[in-house]
């Protein structure tokens, strides 16, 4: 059995591993796996009406569908545009390659005058998961919740019911099944939920050095998912026995036996059906196998389609900025600034360090060792189990911090024990849209180097620059236009510049110098005129080689009724419409001190509880109440 699994994996991966090995069988094998996985999930027939329709199966959507079907009297339809993940997607180390597959929508931002000059066509990539499980099927598996102060700030903005200790922390804990070898019996963790949270079993030598180096700079070692915000730690990830533990694997697959949970794959919702007189959402229009259908929701429609597709669906349903809707010919049902705010974590991946250590990873990338690699993976061991190559994180405050609370960090340092040249520039270059001229001038010279290199990525957690999105037209199959506005505010550049100086100083501490750590100093050609290492060189480099960390939030912002920029109220109900909620990370009002996947699970838990409270307390479940 194991031999056959390895062969399937090899056939499939060899079609996209960058080594140029022709394989006519790989697409057939991949299609066979996909079809079998889909059949496990889908039904032969569907109902015309459901109690609840959940649009989108990212972490929040999977949680909502799971929690609502705990009530056996409620029928729930979960609709997903993508398909089911396969064993390939469960290899943590292959995360960068997943950005290059059918599981990624493959979106890109529009050209901007402030940033992304080193990206292909000067356009930063905006990857997004297209699978049952959403982006949890392709993302880096990093589990970071954010700070107490983040969520207390939501309350200060007028969002009642989102208090950290009363609501948010219990929701985080409810989801997780934590087995963290460094934090036993912590009041901030739970070991009985569905979502696995663990420390990596396999480790290279670098994370210990990274932690000791940050300690030498004055940081403490912390649990960043507890009540400490500034410090350094080993990574906590959503993996289980060395495999990716996605929203599908944790919240859907174990519950497919529930007869009241129906799932549609490869189906695109084109709009929410809303009565123009009563303003009641009563169903969805969808496109499945090239045919349009309408399905009725007896109680509520829940949009969990994410920060890009939830605002797109609202606008195509007549809820959005009046001028924008009129421009594309959509009748205006309710004028709201949908999509007009889009926060993201701007990141700089341009610090590559070399060392005197022998590279333990390169043998894994050689074709003749692939069988051994997959054998180790199937036994839950080896480098293939490291999530996206990430092994440790640090959270720091720089002098120009603009955070709303003194305990909040403004910078995250992400240790990646991989480098762009390891696979001759395939995974990182392609997945992050690095231009050929940038790779060839900075990294290509390292191909074949057998010493250990590593990246320290700098992520700005609370940027001042805010982007937005807008629709091109009325066609659901056409992606919105994304305007990132990265570094529109110069202060964001200065914050990352200070983090660069901190990082370089850290690598000069004894733990790093013991391995001969040194900054790779090949200059970016368009910035070389400033002199490598000068402040102006780094300012140029930051704007040239920057990436999104794929944490867009705020496009369906949550806020009180007096907030003119809010799209949903604190109970996640869309203003101006009844029986319609948005439950996903698009409702987050401002950027948090974290990656967004953990928050997505939490928002799903809180949103599901709100729905249950509203409907289970009604003596007549078909009496609908306004927002």
DSSP 568-584: B-TT-BBTT-BSEEE-S
| Residue 309 is among the residues annotated as catalytic for this protein | no
Q: For the chain, how big is the Rg over CA atoms in Å?
A: 24
Active-site residue among 179, 520, 595, 625? 595
Token pair in block for residue 338 = 């949908």
- CA 226 to chain CA centroid, Å, is 21
For residue 588, give every residue at least 6 positions away whose Cβ sits within 8 Å of its Cβ, in sequence order, or none: 343, 553, 554, 557, 558, 596, 599, 603
Residue 135 labelled as part of a binding site: yes
191 burial (CB, 10 Å; 0-12 / 13-18 / 19+) is middle
Token pair in block for residue 69 = 């079907």
Smallest CA-to-CA distance from 612 within 155, 304, 300, 281 is with 300
- Which of the 8 DSSP states describes residue 159? -
C-alpha 253/C-alpha 250 separation (Å) is 7
Are residues 150 and 595 in contact, defined by beta-carbon separation less than 8 angstroms? no
Token pair in block for residue 437 = 């001229």
For residue 397, give every residue at least 6 positions away whose Cβ sits within 8 Å of its Cβ, in sequence order, or none: 230, 403, 408, 409, 410, 411
| Residue 179 is among the residues annotated as catalytic for this protein | no
Max Cα–Cα distance, the chain, nearest Å: 73
C-alpha 204/C-alpha 575 separation (Å) is 50
For residue 448, give every residue at least 6 positions away whose Cβ sits within 8 Å of its Cβ, in sequence order, or none: none
Active-site residue among 245, 309, 345, 551? 551
For residue 481, give every residue at least 6 positions away whose Cβ sits within 8 Å of its Cβ, in sequence order, or none: 110, 469, 470, 471, 472
Q: Give the residue ranges of the annotated binding site for FAD.
A: 135, 269
Q: Catalogue the active-site residues.
A: 551, 595
Q: Give the residue ranges of the annotated binding site.
A: 135, 269
């Amino acid at each position: 059995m194991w031999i056959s699994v390895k062969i399937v994996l090899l056939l499939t991966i060899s079609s996209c591993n960058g080594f140029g090995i022709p394989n006519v069988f790989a697409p057939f094998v991949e299609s066979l796996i996909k079809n079998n996985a889909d059949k496990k999930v889908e039904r032969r027939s569907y109902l015309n009406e459901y109690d609840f329709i959940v649009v989108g199966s990212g972490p929040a959507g999977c949680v909502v569908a799971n929690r609502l079907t705990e009530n056996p009297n409620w029928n729930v339809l979960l609709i997903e545009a993508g398909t089911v993940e396969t064993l390939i997607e469960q290899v943590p180390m292959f995360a960068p390659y997943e950005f290059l597959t059918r599981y990624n929508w493959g979106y890109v931002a529009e050209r901007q005058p402030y940033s992304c000059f080193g990206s292909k066509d000067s356009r930063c990539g905006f990857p997004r998961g297209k699978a049952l499980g959403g982006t949890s099927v392709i993302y880096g598996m990093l589990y970071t919740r954010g700070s107490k102060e983040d969520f207390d700030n939501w309350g200060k903005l007028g969002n009642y019911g989102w208090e950290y200790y009363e609501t948010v922390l219990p929701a985080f804990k409810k989801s997780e099944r934590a087995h963290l070898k460094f934090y036993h019996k912590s009041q901030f963790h739970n070991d009985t939920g569905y979502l696995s949270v663990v420390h990596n079993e396999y480790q290279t030598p670098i994370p210990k050095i990274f932690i000791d180096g940050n300690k030498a700079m004055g940081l403490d070692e912390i649990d960043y998912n507890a009540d400490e915000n500034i410090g350094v730690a080993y990574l906590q990830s959503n993996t289980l026995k060395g495999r990716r533990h996605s929203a599908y694997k944790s919240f859907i697959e174990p519950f497919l036996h529930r007869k009241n949970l129906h799932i549609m794959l490869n189906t695109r919702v084109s709009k929410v059906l809303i009565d123009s007189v009563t303003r009641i959402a009563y169903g969805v229009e969808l496109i499945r196998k090239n045919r349009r259908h309408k399905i009725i929701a007896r109680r509520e429609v829940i949009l969990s389609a994410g920060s890009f597709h939830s605002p797109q669906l609202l606008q195509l349903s007549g809820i959005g900025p009046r001028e924008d809707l009129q421009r594309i010919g959509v009748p205006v049902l309710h004028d709201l600034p949908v999509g007009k705010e889009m926060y993201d974590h701007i990141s700089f991946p341009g610090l590559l360090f070399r060392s005197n250590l022998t590279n333990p990873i390169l043998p894994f990338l050689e074709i003749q060792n692939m069988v051994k690699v997959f054998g180790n993976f199937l036994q839950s061991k080896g480098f293939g189990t490291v999530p996206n190559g990430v092994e440790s994180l640090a959270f720091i405050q720089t002098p120009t911090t603009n955070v709303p609370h003194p305990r909040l960090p403004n910078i995250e340092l992400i240790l990646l024990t991989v480098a762009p040249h390891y696979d001759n520039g395939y995974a990182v270059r392609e997945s992050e849209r690095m231009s050929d001229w940038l790779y060839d001038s900075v990294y290509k010279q390292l191909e074949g180097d057998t010493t250990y290199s590593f990246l320290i990525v700098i992520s700005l957690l609370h940027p001042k620059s805010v982007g937005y999105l807008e629709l091109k037209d009325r066609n659901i199959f056409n992606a919105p236009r994304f305007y990132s506005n990265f570094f529109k505010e110069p202060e964001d550049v200065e914050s990352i510049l200070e983090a660069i100086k901190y990082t370089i100083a850290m690598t000069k501490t004894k733990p790093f110098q013991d391995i001969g750590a040194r900054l790779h100093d090949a200059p970016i050609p368009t910035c070389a005129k400033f002199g490598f290492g000068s402040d102006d060189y780094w300012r140029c480099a930051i704007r040239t080689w920057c990436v999104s960390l794929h944490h867009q939030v705020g496009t369906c912002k949550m806020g009180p009724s007096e907030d003119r920029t809010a799209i949903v109220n604190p109970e996640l109900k869309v203003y101006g419409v009844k029986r319609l909620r948005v439950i996903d990370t698009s409702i987050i009002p401002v950027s948090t001190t974290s990656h967004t996947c953990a928050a997505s699970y939490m928002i799903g838990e809180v949103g599901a509880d709100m729905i249950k409270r509203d409907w289970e307390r009604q003596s007549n479940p078909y009496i609908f109440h306004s927002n």
